[in-house]
Amino acid sequence: MFDYHMHSTVSFDGHNSGLEMALAAKNAGMREICFTDHVDYTEEMNMVFDPEVYHQVYDRLEIPGLLIRKGMEYGLTPDNQQQLKKDLLRRDYDFILGSIHLVDGLDVYLEPYWQGKTPEQAALIQLEQTLKCVQVHTDYDVLGHLTFISKAKANPVKSLIPYETYPELFDEILKELVRHDKGMELNTSGIDRCGGPLPTLDFFRRFKELGGKIVTVGSDAHTADRVGQYTHEMVAQLKEIFGYVCTFENRQPIFHK
């Protein structure tokens, strides 16, 4: 079983060490994981891990029976393609998860972004930003938690966004992923926060219809107790749709049937 989205204390918002997270993964029945620590730039602060700390924590981390991959979760914006290219030169990675956390410099997880917007407006603006990002970025591997805004801390609704809510917009996003041979993540962190994975399974059925091939599963764990959470069930669901689920090595997908 695989968990391809987790954060240790190498991330600014992680709560457990890399060793603790890896041991939790082994205990949860994972056979392969990938650390995807945050790289996001804002005017107020840079939420960027220290490369030296990253090397020290992960390059010597070994747990018998657990394959540990190294990645990062990169905060995509419409104009930071060159910054991503620079950050990719810091070391070799197995996997790059591209996520959209910021709109106009505001973190959609937090209250300032939501001020003056209805929940519908807040969600639509963030999803339109997602489309802009996938239209211009090509240096990531998989789009993370497409409907991430559903679980935002400041979201007063915290309800899932089905594909049918914005079918034309979602199709544009999915078609861009297909066009650039990018994958889509099934993020399990929404299951106990807003009632289902992010995005929901209807997105993956549509992704396959449009020619999408690459799919990963991640818990988005920031604490050891959430590592591998719901991944067994969600891997099984994806296998029903695609017949496989993916992991990565040296930025290349591996298809596990």
> pLDDT 10s per residue in the chain (257 long)?
999 999 999 999 999 999 999 999 999 999 999 999 999 988 766 789 999 999 999 999 999 999 999 999 999 999 999 999 999 999 999 999 999 999 999 999 999 999 999 999 999 999 999 999 999 999 999 999 999 999 999 999 999 999 999 999 999 999 999 999 999 999 999 999 999 999 999 999 999 999 999 999 999 999 999 999 999 999 999 999 999 999 999 999 999 99
pLDDT of residue 42: 80
pLDDT of residue 200: 98
Hey, how many other C-beta atoms are within 10 angstroms of the C-beta on 252?
Answer: 11
In the chain, how long is the greatest CA-to-CA distance?
51
Q: Say whether the peptide bond before residue 199 is cis (omega within 30 degrees of 0).
A: yes
**CA 108, CA 155: separation in Å to the nearest integer?**
9
Spell out where the chain has E strands.
2-3, 32-41, 46-48, 67-75, 95-99, 102-103, 106-107, 142-143, 183-187, 215-218, 245-249, 252-256
pLDDT of residue 45: 66
Residues 36, 248 contacting (CB under 8 angstroms):
no
Torsion of CA 175, 179, 180, 184, to 10 degrees: 30
Residues 154, 109 contacting (CB under 8 angstroms):
yes
Residues 206, 241 contacting (CB under 8 angstroms):
no
pTM (2 d.p.): 0.96
Residues 213, 251 contacting (CB under 8 angstroms):
no
pLDDT of residue 89: 94
Amino acid present at 201: L
pLDDT of residue 245: 98
**Residue 229: partners with Cβ closer than 8 Å, 6 or more residues away:** 28, 188, 189, 191, 192, 219, 221
pLDDT of residue 15: 97
pLDDT of residue 31: 96
pLDDT of residue 75: 96
